[in-house]
Amino acid sequence: MTDTSEYFPNRIDRIEQIILGLAQRQTSTQEQLDNLTIRQVNTQAQLDELSQEMRELTSNVDRVLGRSAILDDVLLELRDSHEQHQRNFEEHQRTTNAALQSLESILLQLIRNNS
């Protein structure tokens, strides 16, 4: 009987040690789960912030592209207008030169007639 009575307390002690070890592991596992939950919350917050920044960036890009399209149209109009003004100037220069030549001819005739 002494063998049996020594056997059971040793076995109970070992079971107790196993249970204590399991409790420590469970506590450690719970701490790891808590840390993972905190990391997940932080990661989600970062993803939300990144999504907001992405929406703002997309909005900015859309505005810039819209303005760029408007500026492209304005630039085309300015080029057309410049070309038209250039043609008008050249025509005005031709008519002015023709008028000056005509006036020069008249002046030469007047000078000849007065001489």
- Tell me the per-residue pLDDT of 32-85, one tens digit each, with 9 for 90 and over: 999 999 999 999 999 999 999 999 999 999 999 999 999 999 999 999 999 999
pLDDT band at 8, cuts 50/70/90?
A: low
Give the amino acid at 89: F
Give the three-state DSSP class for 115.
coil
What whole-number distance in Å separates Cα of residue 115 and Cα of residue 113? 5
How much is the pTM? Answer: 0.52
What whole-number distance in Å separates Cα of residue 73 and Cα of residue 84? 17
For residue 1, the surrounding DSSP H or E stretch is none
Give the amino acid at 47: L
As a 3-state breakdown, the chain gives helix, strand, coil percent values, each rounded to 5, of: 100, 0, 0
